[in-house]
Amino acid sequence: MQPVERVRESERPTIELDPFFVGTNGMLTEAYWYSGMTEEAVAQAQNLDETTRRYYEAMGRGDNDEAVDLIDSAVEAGLTITVASRYYAVAGNKEKSFDLLEESVRQRLPQVLLAQTYAPFDPYRSDPRFIEIRRTIGLDP
């Protein structure tokens, strides 16, 4: 079963109860995105907040600069830095992504453990900074 199908199946009861539940719509949007289903991700993101919707629209157009500007604004408005780090990684802004991952470690945010498994960080896994982050939080490089 493909990741999108697994998410759809596991989240079906939630969507039936509340088609606009943010958590489920966010998971579906990301599942589509990471499966290379850009149009479906952008369509699913229409059920999310305006900034996230605009982020996926910008990414769908290949406008990474606009996407980074939207992330910057979202961070100023309170977006958690571990989530922002993931979004920066997707947008191709490696420096901002690493800066926030390292800040997550300094702040001892537990979400940094989960971040180690996220697909957007796959290209970073051999980077010395990523390896050091993993060592710092007690994981094997």
Q: Which amino acid is at 84?
A: A
d(CA 131, CA 24): 31
Q: What backbone phi and psi angles, to 5 degrees, belong to 104? A: -60, -40
- Tokens representing residue 17 in the block: 């109860």
> What is the chain's pLDDT, residue by residue, as a tens digit (141 residues)?
576 788 778 888 888 888 888 888 988 898 899 889 999 999 999 999 999 999 999 999 999 999 999 999 999 999 999 999 999 999 999 999 999 999 999 999 998 888 888 888 999 999 999 999 999 998 887
Q: Are 26 and 52 in contact (CB under 8 A)?
A: yes
Compute CA distances 62 → 2, 57, 65, 71, 103, whole Å: 25, 9, 9, 15, 28
